[in-house]
Structure 1
Amino acid sequence: MHEVFQRKDGPNVVPPSYGNELEILDAKALSHFGMRITDALSAQSKSIEMRIVKTEDASVVGTARRLVLATDTDFPDVSNHMADALADAQKSRGIPGGMLLVFDGKVGGDAKPFVGVIKAEMQSGFQRRSAAAKVVTEFLENIFLTPATRLYKLALFISDDVAVTASTIWRCFVFDSNITARSARECSRIFL
């Protein structure tokens, strides 16, 4: 997980705050995470398959390829390139910052590798929980991926091969909360 910030002044990129290690989710959290991704990508009015133009090693697809091949130790450092690409692509000061989650896995009956990238907004809220003999209300800051928070962008890069190589063909599916029929061409610029 990385944090990408809103630009403050002119063309200057605010460097991301990088996560230094893998986040391991428990079964309940992983199930919720999977449901958010599935719900977003199945919202067909907000999801499209993109044509991939850049495939060299320094591109986002090149980074996806390196992530699939990375060890758990190397994954966080390699995923920094996704945060850098997003921070660089957000040219307008009007684009909000957010959490950038980079994850991998396998999909389909033949278990093809994929890499996902989510930009999610953060918000504050309250939580009620039992503590000792009473119920406690806590104020929480910087929460994300709740059912009420927006996913701004979600990209899923799926390998056409089970064993990824330099020549592997990739498919890219993008969910964008701002997509309209008129803006479909522009919707995923920040991921390309």
Structure 2
Amino acid sequence: MINIEELEISRIIVHRVHKKRDEDEFGIAEYSNNIFQFGDTELNTLKNRITTAFSKNKRFFKLQISDEGVDSFCKYSSSMKMCDGLNFISKSKSIADLLAKSHTKRTIPSGLLLVMDGNLNNKHFVLVIKAELQEAFTIKEVNDNKLIELINDLFLSPAKDFYKIGFIVEENLRAKDINDRHSCYMYDDNFSNGKKDLAEYFYSAFLGFTTSSNDKLVTKNFYDDVFKFIDTNIQSFEDKRGLKNAVNVLYRENTAGIINPQEFGEDHFEDELLRRFGADVGSKYPSSFTKDLTLVDRKLHRGQIVLLDDLKIEGPQDSLSNVSVINQNNINYEQLKLQIDNGEIKQIVTIRTEN
């Protein structure tokens, strides 16, 4: 766990990255040429905002470095250690260029980019924050006071949360593997349980990180992908219910803490379905992963039954286990009447056809 209280920020610089225009291949970076001078109040507030972001488990993720090339965020960050002010400014501009090059779609908004470095428990770190801009702004056109006001509004106001954070810190510089030498993290304020991944342009194209080994995301996405596979490939309502219950049992009751996607497929599917499962789901999860229920905890206690199109029944999993769906293909009128007469069925819901 990162102890932000030990975070010692040495230098901060602020750049601006413009969104992609139609005629351009990607966005454009607009540089500042001076290290920014925060006051103690602003620095403490900034550290508090970083602390708050890092404490949000559902939006803060430990990732791995996938790009350590000459022009990568990882390489620029490493070379910032012990460099002088002019070199820090130069390398921060290269980092701003990386962010600009990641803006390959017009839907990616412009933003201010804070680049800072310092020490965490005597280990060098680099932290970048991108805040989306809500108004036109040019760094060259404002003085320091106006810049402080805008940064406070964009980064530090509790009402303004449209920002992303990348963080890389030294671990063991003698290690051979890059992910043993450094740890890296990302905070994405726009991430929600409805999304499969973090903002790819930021963590991958800009930071050169990968989410493929993050247990929170893998646990959530495997759960969602298996449910989608069941809904798409299984016709019987009771078979769907049984398979989904099997997934929930695996997630809630598996004491080993390890989920093996291939083993789950072999235990619950046969022949053509098993082949299809391997192609559609198993191929995305070639190895076992450590279960982390942070992003699926609510789903394990509340569920949905899809009736028709956008019509769904939602409620506690235990209550949904008492719900059955009967259609014209599997209705048994005599048995249904008997269940009603015996009080086994409490309520019947009918759905009319559109005709």
TM-score range, shorter chain: 0.7 to 0.9
Verify the 8 A CA contact 1:10 1:93 in the aligned structure 2: no
CA distance in 1: counterparts of 2:186 and 2:45, whole angstroms: 20
Name the residue aligned to 2:181.
Answer: 169
**Number of residue-to-residue matches in the alignment:** 172
Identity of aligned residues (%): 26
Relative to its length, the structure with more helix (as a share) is: 2
Q: TM-score by structure 1 length?
A: 0.80
In 2: Cα distance, 1:24 partner to 1:151 partner: 23
Higher relative contact order (CA 8 A, sep 6+): 1
Which residue in the other structure is 1:119 paired with? Answer: 130
Which of 159, 162, 167 is 1:148 aligned to?
Answer: 159
CA distance in 2, matches of 1:147, 1:74: 33
Over 3 Å counting, the alpha-carbon distance change for 1:151 and 1:157 in structure 2 is farther
Cα–Cα, structure 1 residues 99 and 185, in superposed 2: closer, same or farther, change >3 Å? closer
Structure 2 unaligned spans of 5+: 1-13, 136-148, 209-355
Residue pair 1:7, 1:13 contacting (<8 A) in 2 also: yes
Structure exhibiting the larger radius of gyration computed from Cα positions:
2
The gaps in structure 1 that reach 5 residues or longer are 125-139
Q: Provide Cα deviations, 1:70-119, integer angstroms capped at 9, x if missing partner.
A: 212221111011111111112210111110000011113xx211000100
- Point out the structure with the larger strand share: 1
The alpha-carbon distance between structure 1 residues 141 and 123, as it changes in their structure 2 partners (threshold 3 A), is farther
Helix, strand or coil at the partner of 1:37: helix
Q: Which residue of 2 aligns with 1:45?
A: 58
8 Å contact 1:120–1:151 — kept in the other structure? yes
The answer to whether the aligner puts 1:9 opposite 2:22 as a matched pair is: yes
- Aligned twin of 1:191: 207
The reply on whether 1:31 has 2:44 as its aligned counterpart is yes
**In structure 2, C-alpha distance between the alignment counterparts of 1:90 and 1:178, rounded to whole Å:** 17
**Superposition deviation, residue 121 in structure 1:** 2.2
Q: Partners of 2:198 and 2:32 in 1: how far apart?
A: 31
Secondary structure of the structure 1 residue equivalent to 2:58: helix
User: 1 CA distance for matches of 2:43 and 2:134?
Assistant: 20
How far off its partner does 1:57 sit?
2.7
Evaluate the alpha carbon distance shift between residue 178 and residue 10 of structure 1 in structure 2; reply closer, same or farther with a 3 A threshold: farther
